[in-house]
Chains A and B, each alone.
Chain A
């Protein structure tokens, strides 16, 4: 195997592909992310999107803000697995998965899933599956800031 092949295998296939799965502190632009999915293929005819935002209320308590903590490395790995499984198990053309970490203000963006398919039914299915799966398997934790103090969600299992 040539050195060139080894180098390529260690890197994502394209920069664009690496951008389709991200865990980042900064906010994202929905328009920009939609463009990123659309330009992957002209065969896309239906796009479903899920955007999760920060609520000001949780289990009957006021929430002033949220801090997300993630397991660097494993979080990215699990999001990559979700994208790969969605591409394999559903009739979709492209899937984008983003999650923010750090301090998030009320009303701000937290998580974005975009699924592009030839037709809407599979786009909706893949999008719903991806967000449900993300919540099950991704090592990301939520600290809610309330007037009474800070609470890790699921702190009292």
Chain B
């Protein structure tokens, strides 16, 4: 299960989570491909690194292996704001 926040929820059709099957031994970049196939708008933002993937509450590198039970989320740009 992948947690969604902010605009990614809207881009997924107002869902708070995505349930996508990912075989064991896969990496973050494989997850990005699976999301890209199902939700191209989110996929595009992931490719551009406008939306980041977090694994176990840390921003994940694309080569990080995703394990069963990992907490995964898609993080759109943070509220940030002007200085």
Q: How far is the CB of B45 from chain A (nearest CB, A)?
A: 7
Known: A69-B5, A157-B45. A142 touches B75 (CB 8 A): no
Q: How far is the CB of B6 from chain A (nearest CB, A)?
A: 4
Known: A71-B5, A71-B73, A152-B10. A77 touches B78 (CB 8 A): no
When distances are taken between beta carbons in the complex, the residues of chain B under 8 Å from A73 are 57, 71
Least CB separation from A55: chain B residue:
B81
Against B, the Cβ 8 Å flags (1 = close, 0 = not) of A24-43 are 00000000000000000000
When distances are taken between beta carbons in the complex, the residues of chain B under 8 Å from A69 are 5-6
Against B, the Cβ 8 Å flags (1 = close, 0 = not) of A136-152 are 11111111000000001
Judging by beta carbons under 8 Å apart, are A152 and B78 in contact? no
Least CB separation from A78: chain B residue:
B57
When distances are taken between beta carbons in the complex, the residues of chain A under 8 Å from B45 are 157
Interface size on B, residues (CB 8 A): 20
B77 in the interface (beta carbon within 8 A): yes
Q: How far is the CB of B48 from chain A (nearest CB, A)?
A: 8
Majority DSSP secondary structure for residues of B touching A:
loop
Q: How far is the CB of A134 from chain B (nearest CB, A)?
A: 9
Interface size on A, residues (CB 8 A): 22
Against B, the Cβ 8 Å flags (1 = close, 0 = not) of A113-153 are 00000000000000000001001111111110000000011
Bound together, the chains give a CA A2 to CA B45 distance in angstroms of: 49
When distances are taken between beta carbons in the complex, the residues of chain B under 8 Å from A153 are 77, 79-81
Judging by beta carbons under 8 Å apart, are A135 and B57 in contact? no
When distances are taken between beta carbons in the complex, the residues of chain A under 8 Å from B76 are 141, 152, 154
Judging by beta carbons under 8 Å apart, are A154 and B77 in contact? yes
Judging by beta carbons under 8 Å apart, are A77 and B57 in contact? yes
- Which A residues have a C-beta under 8 Å from some C-beta of B? 52, 68-69, 71, 73-74, 77, 132, 135-143, 152-155, 157
- Which B residues have a C-beta under 8 Å from some C-beta of A? 3, 5-7, 10, 45, 48, 50, 54, 57, 71, 73, 75-81, 83
